[in-house]
Amino acid sequence: MRLSFIKITDNNDCRNYYIDVTRMADVRIRVGILYSRYSRGYIHEELDNILKGDWSFCCVKRVFADDYSKVKEYKNDLYRFYDAKLVNYKKPTFSNIITFSSL
């Protein structure tokens, strides 16, 4: 079976993300289902923290897998990959002060 792995990320904190797996041909439908379940009050704590704010999603990998153990292995590999990328991440600081210099 063909599977798509979707990464849903909080745009304000990229360390807050969730990876979902779907067999649907169009991943946008799966994300729409997840969001409608969130808006109806179905509780999924890890995902709810992302969907209540500014978020985005993308399809990060497509694979063919025959059994559920392979799917879990792929998903864990993706979590390890993205966690390793975020090890030294420092959230940028922004200032609300605007300065103008005269030339």
How does 87-96 read in b/e, with b if 16+ C-beta sit within 10 Å?
Answer: eeeeeeeeee
Looking at residue 41, what is its pLDDT? 87
If one counts the domains in the chain, the total is 1
62 lies in a domain? yes
Name the residue range of residue 65's domain. 2-85
Residue 100 lies in a domain: no
* Residue at 13 is within a domain: yes
pTM over 0.85: no
Asked whether residue 74 is assigned to any structural domain, the reply reads yes
pLDDT of amino acid 87? 83
Q: Is residue 102 in some structural domain?
A: no
Give the pair of three-digit tokens for residue 82.
Answer: 């993205």
Q: Is there a domain that residue 65 lies in?
A: yes
Residue 72 domain-assigned (yes or no)? yes
pLDDT tens digits in sequence order for the chain, 103 residues long: 899 999 999 988 888 999 999 999 899 999 999 999 998 988 888 899 899 989 999 999 999 988 999 999 999 999 999 999 888 777 766 656 665 665 5
Q: Are 17 and 83 in contact (CB under 8 A)?
A: no
Asked if residue 51 belongs to a domain, the reply is: yes
DSSP 8-state assignment for residue 16? -
